[in-house]
Every structure is written in structure tokens, then in C-alpha cells.
Amino acid sequence: MAQPTPLVHEYRGNVLDLTHYGHLCVVDAASRVRFAVGDPDVSVYYRSASKPLQALPVIRRRLDRMYGLTEEETVIFAGSHAGEAFHLSVLESILEKTGLSEDALVMNPAVPAHPRANEQRIRDGLPPRKLYHNCAGKHLALMLLQRALGAEVRDYWKPDAPAQEEVRRVILQMSECGHTDLGIDGCGVPVFAVPLWGIAAAFLNLAAPERIPDPSLREAAVRFAPRMHRYPLMMRGTGYLCSLLNEDPNVVAKGGANGVYGFALKKEKLGVAFKFTDGTEGSWALVILEVLRALGCLSEDTRRRLEGLHPFVIRNDNGTVAGARKTAFTVSV
């Protein structure tokens, strides 16, 4: 197995202060690894990067239509929402339409990830609640699937639950893998590990669903992926990378905890996945900008949005520029 390779250098002044190691790969339409840094076969947990895949069984079974869910409401199934007011409105609407109970969510109550949303919660004197958890949308999708399969809704989180078994099959199909290792995610449900190239392949299948052999899964991806572009704020929230990146109609993208990210390019039919072995997330935008530039796929609008996150600059607590980030690899395909 190849060792992790430097992906990003961080400089404090003129001195190299940190090096973030990891793995990165690019997969083409023939499911070949066209480019790799580190080891494309390294086993990586999807974490929340799996959410767009986990939404597909709900769409495939047309549960969205059964309950009259809007497209915007279904996109939060694939997102890691930041707890802004419009996220809570969508989640509460899903509860009302489906008859699901917030109490049945397995995670503990949380607070909004978006600082201003949490400040407003505090001003309003509102307590933590389960719907504030960034994974609430995914959990509601799993609960709907569990109920559609005739099983006890409150058991949706268990590894042997019918909903989890169906999700696992979809993960394997989309990742073009024969096996996935299971762990427990931060929110309490199973989390899936596949080779890094499998994550790249899965996002390519989302972006180019004609590649998916299963007709019903293919049709679900055809219907669902464009919604991520129409309602990108449901993927994370105001000013966050996942939402900004999905504003690009050529890019399908989602990140996960501890430094994993997957995205794909529709026109070029390329899938990309990378993992920082130290779990850093602050350099995601920097790596994505470098990959998109090297592939000749960086639109002016996407460049502007991602550079607006200031991925090159390190500031101290006073807002003063203290250093810089630079990519440590060169893409060639």
C-alpha cells in the first residue's frame, strides 16, 4: 500500500509550519484510475459524503411522491445542514407530511452549526433539539425507507435494519465495489468504508447516471442529482463549500467528516475523491480548486465562489494574515 502523500503545505510567515498528508484519485468513464496521489486503494469511510447515495433508495421507491415532498425537501436527505431557519422549516415540513416523529431520531439533541443561527437560537431562548443535528435529513430518509420496508421505524439505525441493508446494497452498486466495511458514524448510524477510487466512481455515477447498470437506481439518480443544483443550500448552508460547489451545474459534490471529499464532473465524466489522513477540512477548497484548474474544468463562477472562502490565506485570531496554504501535488491526466 502506498503511503500518504503531501497534499497541502501550510506556511507561517516564510516557514513551512504544517504538512497535510493524504490520498487523492481521479477516475474516468471506464472506471480506470487516471491519476492518483498516495494510494487509490486505501479504505476510506464515506462519512457524510455518502448522503447523496443514501437518498437514492427513497427516490427509487418514489416515497417523495407518496408523501408529497417537494424537491427542496428531498435534497436535505443528501445534505449536512447547518441549522439555519430555512433548514428547520424544511425538516419540520417533512415531519408534518410524513407523520414521522422527531423523538424517534436516534441522535442526541444538538445546536445549529451555523454560528448566526445558533446565536439566534440562544436569543430566542430555544433549547437544543434533534432536528438541529446536521444529519437529521439523512435520518428522516432512513426512517421513511425503514417504514416502507415494513420494519419498526425506531430501529432504522441498527446495522441489520432493512433500511440499512438496502442502503448498503446501493453504496456497493454506486461505488462499483464488492465489499464494504462497516463502522458507526458520529450520528449513530452505520458508516461505510470502500476503496478511495470507489468514492470517486460513486460520484461519477451520480454525475453520469447512464453508467448505472440497475435501471431503477439509474432512474432515481437521473431524477435526484439535478435537484442538488436547484437547491444547493440544502446540501449544507449559506457560505459553505458543499453548497457553493453544487451551484455549479457541472459538479456533483459532498464532503464528510475527518477530511474526506467526493465530487464528479458531468461533461468530462470524471470522478474525484480525496482524504486527508489528519482529518483536516480547512484545505478542501484549495485541493478542489487545484484539481478543477488542472482538469480545465474550473468555471469563472465556481472559481469566484471557492476563492471567496479564502482557502489560500491563514489568519490569526485578530484577523491578521499570518500565513498561506499551497497545494503540494500536481495533477496530470
Q: What is the pLDDT of residues 162-171, one digit of tens each?
A: 999 999 999 9
Q: Residue 176: its pLDDT value, please?
A: 98
pLDDT for 332 beyond 90: no
Residue 100 near residue 144, CB atoms below 8 Å = yes
Q: Residue 183: its pLDDT value, please?
A: 96
Q: Residue 1: its pLDDT value, please?
A: 65
Residues with Cβ within 8 Å of 57's Cβ and at least 6 positions away in sequence, in order, are 141, 145, 163, 166, 167, 170, 220
Q: Which three cell numbers stand for residue 14?
A: 516564510
How many residues are there in the chain? 333
Tens digits of residue pLDDT in 271-280: 999 999 999 9
Q: Residue 333: its pLDDT value, please?
A: 79
Closest CA to 201 of 7, 41, 6, 4: 41
Give the bridge partners for 15, in sequence order: 12
Q: Answer yes or no: pTM beyond 0.95.
A: yes
| pLDDT band, very low/low/confident/very high, at 16 (cuts 50, 70, 90) | very high
As a whole number, mean pLDDT of residues 244-257 equals 98
Share of the chain above pLDDT 70, in %: 100
Helix (H, G, I), strand (E, B) or coil at 243: helix
Other beta carbons within 10 angstroms of residue 130's beta carbon come to 19
Tens digits of residue pLDDT in 190-218: 999 999 999 999 999 999 999 999 999 99
Tens digits of residue pLDDT in 37-74: 999 999 999 999 999 999 999 999 999 999 999 999 99
Q: Residue 2: its pLDDT value, please?
A: 75
Q: What is the mean pLDDT of the chain?
A: 97
Share of the chain above pLDDT 90, in %: 99
